[in-house]
Amino acid sequence: MINETGVVIGSATEAGPRRALNCDAFAHHVFHDRLAVAVVDGTGTSDEVARFADVAAEVAVRVAARRSAVHGIVAASDLCADPEVELPSPSGAIVVAVAEPGELWRIAWAGDCTAHAHQDGEAWRLTRPHTNGQLLRDEGEPEEIARQHDHQLMNGVARVDQGGIDTVTVRCPVLVLASDGLLRVSDDEMTDVLAAHPSPQDAAEVLLKTARARSGDDITVLVVRHPEVTEEATAGQPR
């Protein structure tokens, strides 16, 4: 768990049980008291993908803390984009969040990494996965059919010049960023975990364990307290 002045981040990450490497990565950076946090879920399993995910996460947060979450993703994309290739590799999904005054978060994403807000005892997902599975859901296909296509990314770090970058803004004391392994944990389940585990580190670890029961993928979970929110101010409160 990271616990610097004004920065409290619980983190948990684990390779899939049948994977030789964990190709997820996460990073945070503070510039002039401005916090940026990112999760990258590398596509595939190889040393190259794992290295790419690490570098992409670090580049994204350093740029995002100075400029914006969108600029952070664009900078990460510059590491791997190839206009002459339909599916450049290495690549992956990414979510970046920047903390602003007033418990505000500005979030950007490409792919199926996720962001969830937690406030007043409720958690809810902020991001919409850029996957073929989600597209099928939107078109009214049954869940059992759509789920079979959730692994098919329609956008990612290397393709933001074509797929674009989605954004959302929210005010909340606690934000959860994760790779797609957390998608099968419902909002109600996340609400219960965050209420039962006020420590961001404990909450991240329990959320990972909950997701692991339903996913063989690499899983990364960050539980991030907004820098303006103190532990004393939230003591005894559901967060």
Length of the chain: 239
State both tokens at 40: 């990258």
CA 187 to each of CA 118, 123, 192: distance values in angstroms, whole numbers, following the listed order: 10, 6, 9
Whether 234 shows a pLDDT value over 60: the answer reads: no
Q: pLDDT at position 34, please?
A: 96
Q: Using 50, 70 and 90 to split pLDDT, how confident is the model at 166? A: very high
pLDDT over 90, % of the chain: 79
Q: pLDDT at position 169, please?
A: 99
| Predicted structure pTM score | 0.93
Whether 29 shows a pLDDT value over 60: the answer reads: yes
Give CATH for domain 2-233: 3.60.40.10
Q: Identify each DSSP E strand in 67-181 by its residue range.
A: 92-100, 104-110, 114-119, 122-125, 166-171, 174-178
How far is residue 22's CA from residue 38's CA, in Å, rounded to a whole number?
16
Q: Using 50, 70 and 90 to split pLDDT, how confident is the model at 5? A: low
